[in-house]
Structure 1
Amino acid sequence: MTTALITGASAGIGAEFAQQLAVRQIDLVLVARSQDKLQELANSLKHQHQIQVDIIVQDLTAADATETVFQTAQQLGRSIDILVNNAGIGDYGDFAESDRDFQLKMVQLNMATIVDLTHRFLPGMRQRQTGGVINLCSVAAFHSMPYFSIYAATKAFILSFSEALWAENRSYGVHVLAVCPGPVGVKFFKEAGFPPFLVNVAARFDTPVETVAQEALKAFENRKPLVIPGNLINPILAVLPRFLPREEVSSFWKLVLGNNVGK
C-alpha cells in the first residue's frame, strides 16, 4: 500500500491530512512532538479505516531530528511515497527586538527541515517513479511582510523550492505541490504573538482545515504545482504583488501590521 509521512500531524492541517489520506486507504507515519495526541489520532484512524499507522514522536527543531525521522521510517520498513511537510512556526513583532534564537528556530523548522526531509525521501520516490511531496506554504509567500518578516520569507523560499522541484521531477513520475492557504484558524496567530485585533481579522478570513487538505489533495492528484485553497481573497492576495511596486506592498503591510506592534 501507499504510505504517507506527515509532519506536524497531531493537530490542525496535519491531522486533517491524516484523516483525508486515511479515507483514501493510505498507510501513515505521523510525526509531531505530542505523543498523546499522535497516539490518539493513530488509534482512531486504525480503527476507522483498517490501515497501518505508526507514530514518530520528535521535535523537528532538534539538531538530529531529520536523521531520526528518516532512520525510524527505515526501521519501520516503510517506503515513504508521499511526504507532507506541514510542521512550521511563526512569530509576530519587530525583527530587531525579537528573540534571536526563536528566529533561527523558525528558519530551521520552516526551511532547513523541509529541505532535509525532502532530500532524504525524494530519491526513493524517483527510483520507484511514483509519489511526491506536499509542502505547506502560505499566501504570505507572495509578500514581504514587516513584523512577520522571517515567516513570510521562509514561506517564499519553500514556494520557490517547491515549484522548482515540481519541474525537476515531472519526468520521474514524482509530483511536488506547494499549498498556499490564507489564515487557517486562530491558534497559529495567537501562538505567534499577534495582538487580539489582528487575531480577529484573521478569523474573519479563516479557511477550514478540511478545505485546505481537500483542495491540496485534489491539486496533488491533478499534478498541479501550486494551489491556493479557500475563498477568493486568497488568490487575490497572491496575485496583487505582481501589479504593484514592491515598496508599496511592503508599506501596506507595515501600515496594517505595524500599528499593532507591542499592543
Structure 2
Amino acid sequence: MKEYILITGASSGIGYEMAKQLATKNVNLLLVARSEDKLQKLQKELTVLHQIEVEYFLYDLSEPNSAQDLYNHIKQKNYLVTGLINNAGFGDYGNFTEMPLKKDEEMIAVNITALVGLTKLFGADMTKQGKGKIMNVASLLSFLPFPYYSVYSATKSFVLAFTETVATELEGTGVIVTALCPGTVETPFHTNAMRKTNAMSANKPMPADIVAKAGVELFLNGKGKKIVGIMNWVLSNLPRVTPDKIMMKIKKNLASIKH
C-alpha cells in the first residue's frame, strides 16, 4: 500500500516549501489548505516534476470537527498516512482587549484544536502500524510569549508542551513526534503592523525555504525540538538567565511598533 505524508497549510509559506522539498525525495503527498487554485497549481507542478502522487483536500481547520472530518475523508479514500506535518496556523497582532473574539477563537481552533485532533487520530493509526512521523510547527514565541501576540504566543506555547509530552508517551512505539520552532519567517503570515515592530527590525525574517529545509531534515531524521537559526536559539534561552520583570520589559519593547 502506498504511503503518504500529510501537510496542513500547504498552499503558502513554510508548508508550501516543505511540500516542494519533500517531493524531491520521491514521497507521496496529501496537501491541505483553503485555497484551491494554489493547491491545484502545486499538485500539477509536483506530479509533473517528480512523478509522485499528490492529492489535495480543501479544509478550513478553524471549522468545528474539521480534524475528524479530514481524517474520515482520508480514510474513506484509503490513503495510508505515515507522516503528518501540522503546519497550518495563523497569528494576529494588537491589544488583546481590542482584538475580535471570533479571530481569537479561530486561532485557537487552527493552532491547537485541529493540531491536537490530527495528531491524535493519525497518531493512533501510526502506533498500530508501529511506525510514523509527526511534526508540529511551534515557534520561537513558544519560549518567549510576546505582548500584543498574546493568544498566538499562548497557542504556540501549548504546541511545544503538547508535542514534547506526546513524544515521550510514544517512545518505543516506532512513532517519532517532533517540534519545529522557527522565529520570524518571510511569509504572508505577517501583517503590516507586525512588520513595523522593533522585533522585525532587530531580527530579520528568514526565507521560508531555509526554514522548510530545517523542518524537512527534522521531520525525516530528527528527534525532539529544533529552533531554527543561531540568533533565535540565543533568544529562546534568554528567559533562563534574565529575571521575569526585565524579560517582559524587553519583550514589550521588541513587540512595540518602532517610531
- 1:138-177 residue pairs with structure 2 within 5 A? 138-177=139-178
- 1:118-157 residue pairs with structure 2 within 5 A? 118-157=119-158
2:219 maps to 220
Could you say if the C-alpha distance between residues 77 and 208 of structure 1 is closer, same or farther in structure 2, counting changes exceeding 3 Å?
same
Distance between the aligned counterparts of 1:200 and 1:23, measured in 2?
A: 32
1:78-116 deviation digits (Å, cap 9, x = unpaired): 111111100101010110111111111111111111001
1:38 maps to 39
Could you say if the C-alpha distance between residues 170 and 217 of structure 1 is closer, same or farther in structure 2, counting changes exceeding 3 Å?
farther
Ranges in structure 1 where 5+ consecutive residues have no aligned partner? none
1:55-93 deviation digits (Å, cap 9, x = unpaired): 101111111311221111112211111111001010101
1:161-215 deviation digits (Å, cap 9, x = unpaired): 1111111112001101100011111522226x4253558527x522222221211
1:229-262 deviation digits (Å, cap 9, x = unpaired): 23x11101111111112222222111222356xx
Distance between the aligned counterparts of 1:19 and 1:101, measured in 2?
A: 33
Distance between the aligned counterparts of 1:190 and 1:96, measured in 2?
A: 19
Amino acid at match of 1:121: F
Amino acid at match of 2:3: T
2:60 maps to 59
| Alpha-carbon offset, residue 131 of structure 1 | 1.3
1:21-71 deviation digits (Å, cap 9, x = unpaired): 111111111000000100110111111111111110111111131122111
Amino acid at match of 1:32: A
Deviates most, 207-216 or 43-52: 207-216
Distance between the aligned counterparts of 1:89 and 1:98, measured in 2?
A: 14
Amino acid at match of 2:235: L
Distance between the aligned counterparts of 2:41 and 2:195, measured in 1?
A: 32
- 1:1-263 residue pairs with structure 2 within 5 A? 1-185=2-186, 187-190=188-191, 193-194=193-194, 196-198=196-198, 201=201, 205-230=204-229, 232-258=230-256
Ranges in structure 2 where 5+ consecutive residues have no aligned partner? none
Amino acid at match of 2:8: T
Amino acid at match of 1:223: G
TM-score by length of 1: 0.92
Deviates most, 104-113 or 63-72: 63-72
1:122-173 deviation digits (Å, cap 9, x = unpaired): 0111111111111011101101211111111110100011111111112001
Amino acid at match of 2:219: F
Amino acid at match of 1:238: S
Give the length in aligned residue pairs: 258
Distance between the aligned counterparts of 1:256 and 1:212, measured in 2?
A: 22
Distance between the aligned counterparts of 2:215 and 2:122, measured in 1?
A: 20
Could you say if the C-alpha distance between residues 182 and 200 of structure 1 is closer, same or farther in structure 2, counting changes exceeding 3 Å?
closer
- Secondary structure of residue in 2 paired with 1:140: helix
Distance between the aligned counterparts of 2:256 and 2:194, measured in 1?
A: 11
The answer to which structure has the higher strand fraction is 2
Preserved contact between residue 144 and residue 249 of structure 1 (Cα < 8 Å): no
TM-score by length of 2: 0.94
Distance between the aligned counterparts of 2:196 and 2:187, measured in 1?
A: 10
Amino acid at match of 2:73: T
